[in-house]
Structure 1
Amino acid sequence: MKLGVFPPVFKGRLHDARTATSIGRWLGAAFALCFVTGLVSHFMQHPPDWLANSIPSRPSWGYRLTQGLHVASGIAAVPLLLAKLWAVYPRLFGWPPLRSVKHGLERLSVAVLVAGSVFELATGLLNTAQWYPWPFSFVPVHYAVAWLVVGALLLHVAVKAPEITAHWTRRSAGTQALPAQDGPDRRSFLAAVGAGVGAVTLTTVGQSFTPLKDVLLFAPRHPDEGPQGLPVNRTAAAAGADGITAEEYRLVVTGPQPYTLTLDELRALPQHEVELPIACVEGWSKSARWTGVRVVELLERAGAPAHARVRVESLESRGGYRVSELGQGHARDPLTLLALRVNGEELHPDHGYPARLIAPNRPGVLQTKWVGRLEVLV
């Protein structure tokens, strides 16, 4: 950039439409994947009534895959967004600032798109570390801004469609107007951006894709670290559930034929073992062997009808997710357990002792710990 001149004159190469379009394709793909998987996560965590009984329980690893992709694509979008902003920032100094209504719409869409994108990626990264240095609730605001970003992105693409089309491929008409000598530098720049994306993905995705856990350098969670080899987001002490004893524990099951069970009575019921992952919204996941009583057998004993949903209540004294609901599919799935043991050991208090819910294809935040009540909803 040439200083002392207004508007500034940029002398750097590669701040052109071809470079911006090339990076934009990758960034658009990352945003699309992140948005779609984010919608999946949101509706699985907060399903409307019309959807609650339709959320599938299979494949059992479904949420692990979608949430892993959500966090991985969001992290990959960070270097892509930085590269995209580097390619286009000289246009911020274009003069005059508003040349037409179309130009004004373009600038408005870009302002909203950039601000919203930076907000989404920054707050999403901080969420993976469970650090919330802001006064608002993360989930609803993150969800609302995601729609704002998508709307701004669609408007931006519509306004820039002719330019995007002209520079979409090497043989596009617009490419002929660009200096031929920029080709090698552009390819080197794009290769460097691709290497950066690969590096941040490779060194963080192991928190969900455990074959790569040995190169997990920058993710805030390691899938092997925690009591009984499983990570923990919230301890029993933090939830106010660290004083539960076997002698005092009671499981209350309501329904047409309500009943109550002690921990010894739960242990005496037929026990089943399943292998299921804990898959958390922060992006980490880990499979384990869980042993316990099938929820469907507890419901049948209570006389619950086949279409019933179940409200699961925790004994924790504080926490935003002390109550969750199981739709019909999850409640009747034989893989859904009220687990008493993990990996052959009695549950650690931080993993929900004396009993916790474990169900297939379900967000970890809804795998309720310290379960004290199952309420049949008809």
Structure 2
Amino acid sequence: MRIRPPTTVRPPRFQGRLHDARTATAIGRWLGVAIAVCFVTGVTSHYLQRPPDWLADALPSRPYWGYRVTQGLHVASGIAAIPLLLAKLWTVYPRLFVWPPLRSVRHALERLSVAVLVAAAVFQLTTGLLNTVQWYPWPFSFVPVHFAVAWLLLGALVLHIAVKYPQIKAHWSRRSAGTLELPAEDGPDRRSLLTGVAAAVGAVTLTTVGQSFTPLSRLDLLAPRHPDHGPQGLPVNRTAAAAGVSGMPLTDWRLTVTGPRSYELGLDELAALPQHTVTLPIACVEGWSKSARWTGVRVMDLLELAGARPGTRLRVVSLERRGAYRVMEMGGGYTDDPLTLLALRLNGQVLSRDHGFPARIIAPNRPGVWQTKWVSGMEVL
């Protein structure tokens, strides 16, 4: 009986073109910019949504459109990063099969940084995209986990850049040594690939960014929200039925304001107070936003009637029986701003139930989740 020698396991060999460092670096530049914008605007969004106590009174209410811009950029850069990440992975995936898998401590650090970087990037972009359609097929709370993994992604990116800096520097410019890795005739193919990637990024951006950048709303084909669709011409994330207030009888509704001089007001009494009209956007964490005209009583006037001092922090309670945003607090930067209203009307009409009838908060430079609807009480802190 003839015994065959053991077969040597060889890693696969890739002969495809454009899997070179020059192409990977070119796409990596774009991806790095997208991730940087997404990270900075995401951290901004998080601290506007969940400020620590030391920051709550220092949050600015101006520019009034600030959150609309930062959150719109956050979602737009995150969506743009998806085709960039796929293209980047395509250029480098043959390196997953290098042999031996670990050649040195530096190589081990490089592979570790890549593993964490890819896993964190895929997680962030996938969960962020699903958040824009308000679908949460996971058991954890989205906001704190998304925030924590963002820092993990940033750390992995910094480590990866530090480990790969010599290669990145060598292939950064067109005159670098990286241009010699492919034959000269492959230059047009690289340009075609990069053009295709740029076209993909442009396509997904143009067909989604209209949900926040309303001049492009007609191109809003792939976004989950259209800024003009909804009751009274404004989208709604959480309806009255979803909040459990659609069947509540509100004929005897009264606003309770608790402070040094506590009082109650009915809807007619609120309407008899000086009314102010402001134009402010609703900007939601999912990325959509739309400006509207709001009419109501200034919060600073209501607090003055309650004997509160300027700069007072305020707690607002909704008629909702449950929910993470049933109770909201705002610092003095918002309560002192004349644009902050307890709104009674939207675009000249009485608020619909889905938009918060009988009264809701509208404040500048503030996430939509904190523009509390169905207000039942206000407490001076």
* TM-fit CA distance, 1:320: 1.1
Whether contact under 8 Å (2:57, 2:332) holds in the other structure is yes
Over the aligned positions, Cα root-mean-square deviation in angstroms equals 1.1
Residue 30 of structure 1 corresponds to 34
**What are the ranges of 5 or more consecutive residues in structure 1 without an aligned counterpart?**
none
Matching residue within 304, 309, 327 for 2:331: 327
Structure 1 Cα separation of the partners of residues 24 and 178 of structure 2: 13
Please state whether the residue corresponding to 1:374 is helix, strand or coil: strand
Shift of 1:177: 4.4
1:266 aligns with 2:253: no
> Match for residue 256 of structure 2?
252
Q: Secondary structure at the match of 1:292?
A: strand
CA contact (8 A) 1:254 1:376 kept: yes
User: Runs of 5+ in structure 2 lacking a partner?
Assistant: 1-7
The TM-score with structure 2 as length reference comes to 0.97
Other-structure match for 1:58: 62
Counterpart check, 1:364 vs 2:368:
yes
Specify the SS of the correspondent of 1:286.
Answer: strand
Deviation at 1:5, TM superposition (A): 7.8
Describe the superposition over 1:277-308 as per-residue Cα deviations: whole angstroms up to 9, x where unpaired: 00000000011000000000000111111131
Quote the Cα distance in structure 2 between the aligned partners of 1:271 and 1:5: 79
2:169 aligns with: 165
Q: Using the alignment, how far apart are the partners of 1:232 and 1:261 within structure 2?
A: 27
Partner secondary structure for residue 273 of structure 1: strand
Q: Which runs of structure 2 are paired with 1:287-326 in the superposition (5 Å)?
A: 287-326=291-330
Distance 1:250 1:35 in 2: 43
Match of residue 93 from structure 2: 89
> What residue is the counterpart of 2:209 in the other structure?
205
> Aligned residue for 1:74?
78
> Which of residues 206, 218, 222 is equivalent to 2:222?
218
User: Aligned-pair distance for 1:341?
Assistant: 0.4
8 Å CA contact 1:304–1:376 kept in 2: the answer is yes
Q: For 2:330 and 2:127, how far apart are their aligned partners in 1?
A: 29
Identity of aligned pairs, percent?
75
SS class of match (1:341): strand
Structure-1-length-normalised TM-score = 0.97
Query: Which residue is equivalent to 2:143?
Result: 139
| 8 Å Cα contact 1:166-1:175 kept in structure 2 | no
| Offset at residue 246 of structure 1 (A) | 4.2
The separation in 1 between residues aligned to 2:345 and 2:157, in whole angstroms, is 47
User: SS at 1:351's partner residue?
Assistant: coil
Q: Which one of the candidate residues 122, 127, 149 is aligned to 1:123? A: 127
Contact 2:20 2:181 in 1 (8 A): no
Q: Does the CA-based 8 Å contact 2:311-2:335 persist in structure 1?
A: no
Match of 1:190? 194
- 2:5 is aligned to none
Secondary structure, aligned partner of 2:354: helix
Cα distance, 1:179 vs structure 2: 2.4
- Give the equivalent residue in structure 1 for 2:343: 339
Structure 2 contact 171–179 (Cα < 8 Å) conserved: yes
2:30 aligned partner, one-letter code: W
CA distance in 2, matches of 1:198, 1:365: 29
Paired residue total: 374
Counterparts of 2:243 and 2:371, CA distance in 1: 14
Which digits, 9 at most, give the CA deviation of each residue in 1:252-281, with x for residues without a partner?
A: 111111111111111111111000000000
The aligned residue for residue 106 of structure 1 is 110
How many Å separate the matches in 1 of 2:76 and 2:21? 27
How far did residue 242 of structure 1 move? 1.5
Distance 1:307 1:292 in 2: 20
